[in-house]
């Protein structure tokens, strides 16, 4: 039933696009629907402007009707003030297109600024489209005046009176005395003793931050496994005194035999966890989302079962 509804929606979008084209409806930058499932085009109003002068950038995104797309164009706030205007989606052939307008105001110059490449990606990761970078030259508003700028008065005023220097000296001395007195009072206060954060608290906090980390692309997946592995290795060093961060998996498992009894009890879990991480880091293995969750749960469960406030006293 769902497949029939999707098919009906695609045919309806196709016939609506034909009707709009016949009536002179909007077509965007295309004379006909693109052949691919997605297309992204950019048009910049001008490549030269002055500070805070608005420059319009138009982004036209075409997508197949059944394709869900992520597209959130943004520019560097150090270079531009930006205003984003998103239009409605309009049928075009078997798909839809939408125009997003960026109104950019340069805040740095004179010189050359870069409008970055914009990318749209299918949510299922199967396809992407991007635009090239655009260069905008920012010039001074006085560049086209064609004549020298004259100072409205003499560049230097009359010499200040001597008593201004005397007053300034007294103010400077007063400020220095106040700062020195404040520093001495603060130095005399007893400093609070630093509270050591237990190893399991640091590990659980780090794992909590990694729980929502993106892991869609191979690069993101590898980064996720490296960071989860590092969290557990640091925990093992701080909790049991094992030099896990400097050891390979084989070296660490050998060292574990002579370590704390509580850690040895979980040797099989640690071996399975570290082997999974090694497959991703060194063998280009691409695990599934269920593998991600299982690996993450294994690390979290190990920390919970061996945390110092729940486990018996560890004998090194």
Q: How confident is the model at residue 288 (pLDDT cuts 50, 70, 90)?
A: confident
Cβ atoms 249, 275 nearer than 8 A: yes
Q: Which two tokens stand for residue 172?
A: 């400077």
How far is 130 from 171, CA to CA, in rounded Å? 59
Mean pLDDT of the chain: 79
When pLDDT is averaged across residues 179-185 and rounded to a whole number, the result is: 86
> How deeply is 256 buried, as exposed, middle or buried, from its count of CB atoms within 10 A (0-12, 13-18, 19+)?
buried
How far is 58 from 43, CA to CA, in rounded Å? 5
Q: Is the pLDDT of residue 26 over 60?
A: no
Using one digit for the tens of pLDDT, what is the confidence trace for 126-174? 899 999 999 999 998 765 555 555 555 555 556 566 777 778 888 888 8
Q: Is the pLDDT of residue 316 over 50?
A: no
Cβ atoms 242, 263 nearer than 8 A: yes
Task: Please report how the helices 267-282 and 289-306 are oriented relative to each other, as an axis angle in degrees rounded to 10.
Answer: 140
> How deeply is 191 buried, as exposed, middle or buried, from its count of CB atoms within 10 A (0-12, 13-18, 19+)?
exposed
**According to the model, what pLDDT value does residue 157 have?**
59
**According to the model, what pLDDT value does residue 61 have?**
93
pTM, whole model, 2 decimals? Answer: 0.41
Measured in residues, the chain has a length of 316
Q: Is the pLDDT of residue 29 over 60?
A: yes
Which is nearest to 278 in space by CA: 212, 233, 215?
233
Q: How confident is the model at residue 258 (pLDDT cuts 50, 70, 90)?
A: low
How far is 255 from 316, CA to CA, in rounded Å? 12
């Amino acid at each position: 039933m769902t497949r029939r509804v999707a098919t009906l929606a695609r045919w309806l979008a196709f016939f609506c696009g034909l009707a709009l084209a016949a009536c002179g409806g909007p077509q965007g930058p295309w004379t006909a629907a693109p052949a691919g499932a997605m297309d992204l085009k950019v048009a910049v109003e001008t490549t030269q402007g002055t500070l805070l002068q608005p420059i319009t950038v138009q982004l036209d995104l075409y997508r197949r009707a059944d394709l869900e797309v992520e597209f959130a164009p943004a520019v560097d706030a150090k270079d531009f003030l930006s205003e984003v205007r998103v239009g409605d989606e309009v049928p075009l052939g078997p798909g839809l297109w939408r125009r997003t307008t960026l109104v950019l105001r340069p805040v740095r110059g004179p010189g050359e600024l870069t409008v970055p490449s914009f990318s749209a990606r299918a949510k299922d990761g199967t396809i992407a489209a991007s635009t090239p970078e655009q260069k905008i030259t920012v010039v001074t508003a006085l560049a086209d005046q064609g004549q020298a700028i004259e100072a409205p008065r003499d560049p230097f005023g009359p010499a200040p009176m001597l008593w201004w220097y005397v007053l300034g000296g007294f103010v400077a001395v007063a400020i220095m005395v106040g700062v020195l007195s404040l520093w001495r009072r603060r130095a005399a206060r007893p400093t609070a003793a630093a509270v050591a954060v237990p190893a399991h608290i640091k590990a659980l906090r780090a794992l909590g931050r990694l729980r929502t980390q993106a892991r869609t692309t191979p690069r993101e997946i590898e980064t996720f496994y490296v960071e989860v592995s590092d969290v557990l290795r640091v925990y093992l060093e701080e909790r049991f005194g094992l030099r896990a961060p400097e050891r390979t998996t084989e070296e660490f498992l050998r060292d574990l035999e002579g370590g704390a009894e509580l850690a040895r009890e979980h040797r099989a879990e640690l071996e399975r966890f570290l082997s999974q991480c090694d497959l991703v880091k060194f063998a280009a293995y691409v695990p599934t989302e269920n593998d991600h969750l299982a690996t993450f749960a294994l690390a979290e469960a190990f920390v919970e079962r061996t945390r110092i406030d729940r486990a018996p006293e560890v004998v090194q």
